[in-house]
Structure 1
């Protein structure tokens, strides 16, 4: 049976780029893998066919020979391809490539041909508590962060005298070794260098070959006005130092705004419960309330106010959290919620006056009258 055109097998045109060929092969490999097609006896043959096609077309020299001579370029032990003896159906090599593409990141690959000589440092988290007043004004705060920094003695290389580490002889600097296990080529972390791709023959005495040392650092952090609980601030490069000269990680500062004894916060809105006397609520008057900036504001209480009545002070809430230069936004409002307070520990004269008031009270309790009218209707309905 004549072989199909390699381009046809992968579903690409002859002018397809290397990236398009790789993408098409990855799709075919996932689609035709025998483990996914146990009920399809033809899947394994087509899977091998796709591997053979990709192994040829991924190589520039093989691809050029195939474009010129077709399948004849590889007949006779590779004579049509400069006598290299390479066969395009090398399944292990082709599948190893797609295996690395699909799963390389999970195994620690970060580009550069699979080399992992220098490792990026880990990100750090720092929980910072601020008061509501500090969240309102913003502040600059010094924090002490435990962690690691690049070793000065070896300049982060891990080798004595700042010399460069040597290439690992086991994996030739790849950080991984491959082993053929039947149908598959399995890739594992190199046991000699631990995936670094390099070994340190003379470790630095200060950092013992790690390229970094543990040390606390004091950092100055700008906390912008308007932060809320859960706000995250990123300080690039202030995390753990990388291994053997790798880049440092980042430091993430998570803000927690403490509860306030007077104000409740909801985004940019501040709320404040203010107690007023029965007389002030009934007759009307003024109350003095605090504002988050440390000021005072006088609020008029309308006559006949009930508990729960709210009044609004425009612009007296929290500022917006600005994101980037030129960002703007209006500050929030402050809500005043009245709480009518019932007096306690009355004197004899006060009790006498309240009894007189109760006797004179007529149609000036609309909520009470409405409630008891509903209660009377409810009870009447139950006795019918």
Structure 2
């Protein structure tokens, strides 16, 4: 029997990471998909078995001590007190573990993907069809997802005969029993790809940037996610596509802010316009809107325009547009203008040095109001 350390090309004090690295290096060159032939297949089996023993701490310890992975040089006196036979756990797994139902399928569904897309506020209000480009996995055009060169197909594995698993003899207290294990030559698939596609290297898919049109419904908000079924990554070996999730990010608007389904805008008006009243025009998302400024308008006053807000995502209809006024006090008056303002104040008997403290209104509870009522 060959030495497992020599088979992998490592020293007896090699670390688990060194053993794993050596196994992967040899497996890449000896795998039947890349190196067909009986000699390479036999060597691949030896390398796989050596790794199976040396990667298991208990098996490796037994092997180092006795030279046999079963833990005893003569076939007797092994672990568990049963003289070379497996323990009760091995017996249970042997007789009661599920038997393989056949070779595994190479086909696997593609993964879901999440991307972020930025839209303007006006597009979030009314909805839009947006063109984007997605970097994703798509089905290989050369092999049409099969993973093999055109004209070839996966071939039945010579090692397991297409079963995907092999029978391994295991010693137990009941004698020698047979246990199924995954075939190391085909990795349980039952077939090997001896002629992998030159474009996708046998995976059946390639990465590509593809254009995509997204229909963004009216009323979406910042952070809304849209699911596009079947637009995610293509599956392996012709498997179904995953889903694509689009997370929307709404760009700030220079004029409008959004609160739920309502829009808000702030208009700065002059002191004279606020005092005398006027009419101004606001360019809304629905076009120019005439806003009436009543005489005596104060900073913080609001005019509400119905049905000019954001579209309701569910339930239909639209919110309101709230126009807030800010009265701008000039800070660059000329001497003549100051004289005119003083004359204006005198004509109204206003004392420029007088101030007024606004009384705060406090909300009281029910019992407080009830008590005040009867006092």
TM (norm. structure 1) is 0.58
Contact 2:164 2:186 in 1 (8 A): no
Show the 5 A alignment for 1:6-45: none
**Aligned mate of 1:305, from 297, 315, 320:** 297
* Cα distance between partner residues in 2 of 1:321 and 1:120: 32
Aligned-residue CA RMSD (Å): 3.8
* Cα distance between partner residues in 2 of 1:336 and 1:176: 77
* Cα distance between partner residues in 1 of 2:215 and 2:164: 42
**Aligned mate of 1:274, from 261, 267, 270:** 267
Contact 2:103 2:162 in 1 (8 A): no
Aligned partner of residue 337 in structure 2, secondary structure: helix
Q: 1:234 to 1:342 in 2, by over 3 A?
A: same
Q: CA deviation at 1:124?
A: 2.0
1:128 is aligned to 117
Q: 1:124 to 1:351 in 2, by over 3 A?
A: same
Q: CA deviation at 1:243?
A: 0.7
Show the 5 A alignment for 1:82-93: 91-92=92-93
Q: 1:300 to 1:147 in 2, by over 3 A?
A: same
Aligned partner of residue 319 in structure 2, secondary structure: coil
Aligned partner of residue 281 in structure 2, secondary structure: strand
Aligned partner of residue 138 in structure 2, secondary structure: strand
1:346 is aligned to 333
Contact 2:130 2:214 in 1 (8 A): yes
* Cα distance between partner residues in 2 of 1:233 and 1:189: 41
**Aligned mate of 1:205, from 195, 198, 210:** 198
Q: 1:280 to 1:206 in 2, by over 3 A?
A: same
Q: 1:195 to 1:265 in 2, by over 3 A?
A: farther
The count of corresponding residues between Structure 1 and Structure 2 is: 262
1:26 is aligned to none
Does residue 357 of structure 1 match 2:344?
Answer: yes
Which is richer in helix?
1
Q: CA deviation at 1:336?
A: 0.9
* Cα distance between partner residues in 2 of 1:154 and 1:200: 13
| Superimposed CA distance per residue, residues 282-303 of structure 1 (whole angstroms, 9 cap, x where no aligned partner) | 333333222122x122222233
* Cα distance between partner residues in 1 of 2:169 and 2:305: 73
Higher relative contact order (CA closer than 8 Å, sequence separation 6+): 2
Does residue 214 of structure 1 match 2:207?
Answer: yes
Q: CA deviation at 1:164?
A: 3.9
Contact 2:233 2:241 in 1 (8 A): yes
Consecutive unaligned residues in structure 2, runs of 5 or more: 1-89, 173-179, 361-375
Quick check: 335-344 or 224-233, which moved more?
A: 224-233
- Aligned structure 1 segments of 4 or more residues deviating by more than 4 angstroms: 93-97, 166-180, 187-198, 360-365
Q: 1:233 to 1:361 in 2, by over 3 A?
A: same
| Superimposed CA distance per residue, residues 114-147 of structure 1 (whole angstroms, 9 cap, x where no aligned partner) | 9452111122222211111222232222211122
Q: CA deviation at 1:272?
A: 0.3
Aligned partner of residue 291 in structure 2, secondary structure: strand
Aligned partner of residue 215 in structure 1, secondary structure: strand
